[in-house]
């Protein structure tokens, strides 16, 4: 597969979307080069300091960070997670609040990643 | 309906993550699948999350498109259907509650389907 991408557009916890996207991203990264774009409310997935407590949810930002950390330790793993700068700005989120390992991307870079993706899942 | 003229056979894979009756996604999947089969193409559907509810049996939908009937017809016409296994388990859905031909699957199989498809379409909430 040339390029596989998952687009996250929904905030975590409000719906199953972000959790499902993350589950699929981690599985994909074990099988192929995978990219993800966090766009619109999807950028909240990468916000550090989430405390789902006893809600029953796993901590999704921690899970994302661990996936990126694990991937960095595995030379065969190719996983990139891009966070759309414009969506951060619209939500008054400073990039400093994001988990480590994610990459910032402007409009043109997001467009390029989408254009390069031969297959894409949207959550 | 027979395909009109020579066609290049492609594989359309639909990733369906929406419930059958809260929106038009399931109905759209059925109509797109039907159109693709009519045009001579292969159709695969992978249902995930609440999308698996479209492939249970015993629906009594009246006055709106019946997902069980629609997906059952697609399967009878050769559509290949796989359901996210952990999504079924999460929802307590057992094999006996599923449409014949809609089989529990895995993410590994999903990505194999994606690799083999010419077009991938996401229909979610």
Neighbours of A23 (CB within 10 A): 21
Closest CA in chain B for residue A6: B122
CB spacing of A119 vs B49 below 8 angstroms = no
Residue-level pLDDT at B2: 54
**Parallel/antiparallel/unpaired status of strands B119-123 and A34-38:** unpaired
Neighbours of A46 (CB within 10 A): 28
CB spacing of B48 vs A20 below 8 angstroms = yes
What is the largest distance, in Å, between two alpha-carbon atoms of chain B? Answer: 46
Of A82, A4, A70, nearest in space to A46 by CA:
A82
> What CATH number corresponds to the domain at position A114?
3.40.1260.10
Running DSSP on this structure, what letter comes out for residue A99?
Answer: P
**Mean pLDDT, to the nearest integer, of A94-123?**
96
Closest CA in chain B for residue A2: B115
Is position B6 within any domain? no
What are the tens digits of pLDDT across the range B9-27?
999 999 999 999 988 999 9
Give the DSSP letter string of B14-73: EEE-S-SSSSSHHHHHHHHHHHHHHTT-EEEEEE-GGGGGGGBS-----SS--HHHHHHH
**Domain encompassing residue B40:** 11-123
**Domain encompassing residue A16:** 4-49+58-122
What are the tens digits of pLDDT across the range B77-88?
999 999 999 999
Integer Cα distance of B104 and B94 in angstroms: 9
The number of domains in chain B is: 1
A-chain CB neighbours of B50 within 8 Å are 16
Running DSSP on this structure, what letter comes out for residue A83?
Answer: E
Is position B89 within any domain? yes
Which residues of B have a CB under 8 Å from any CB of A? 15, 17, 48-50, 107-108, 110-111, 114-115, 117, 120, 122, 124-125
The gap from C-alpha B73 to its chain's centroid, in whole angstroms, comes to 11
Is position B84 within any domain? yes
Statement: residue A89 has pLDDT above 80: yes
The gap from C-alpha A103 to its chain's centroid, in whole angstroms, comes to 10
The number of domains in chain A is: 1
Is position B1 within any domain? no
> What CATH number corresponds to the domain at position B111?
3.40.1260.10
* ipTM value: 0.73
Is position B5 within any domain? no
């Amino acid at each position: 597969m040339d390029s596989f991408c998952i687009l996250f557009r929904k905030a975590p916890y409000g719906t199953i979307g972000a959790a499902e996207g993350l589950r699929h991203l981690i599985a994909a990264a074990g099988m192929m080069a995978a990219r993800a774009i966090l766009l619109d409310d999807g950028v909240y997935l990468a916000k550090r300091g989430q405390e789902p407590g006893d809600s029953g949810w796993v901590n999704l930002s921690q899970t994302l960070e661990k996936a990126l950390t694990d991937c960095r330790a595995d030379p065969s793993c190719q996983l990139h997670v891009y966070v759309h700068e414009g969506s951060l700005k619209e939500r008054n989120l400073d990039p400093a609040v994001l988990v480590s390992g994610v990459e910032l991307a402007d409009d043109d870079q997001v467009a390029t990643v989408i254009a390069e993706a031969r297959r894409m899942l949207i959550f | 309906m027979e395909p009109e003229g020579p066609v290049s056979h492609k594989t359309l894979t639909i990733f369906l993550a929406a419930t059958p009756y809260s929106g038009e996604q399931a109905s759209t999947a059925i109509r797109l699948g039907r159109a693709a089969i009519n045009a001579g193409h292969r159709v695969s559907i992978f249902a995930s999350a609440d999308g698996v509810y479209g492939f249970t049996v015993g629906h009594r939908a009246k006055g709106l498109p019946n997902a069980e009937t629609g997906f059952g017809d697609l399967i009878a016409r050769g559509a290949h259907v796989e359901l996210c296994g952990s999504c079924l388990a999460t929802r307590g859905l057992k094999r006996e509650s599923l449409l014949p031909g809609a089989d529990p699957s895995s993410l590994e199989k999903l990505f194999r389907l994606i690799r083999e498809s010419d077009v991938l379409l996401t229909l979610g909430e």
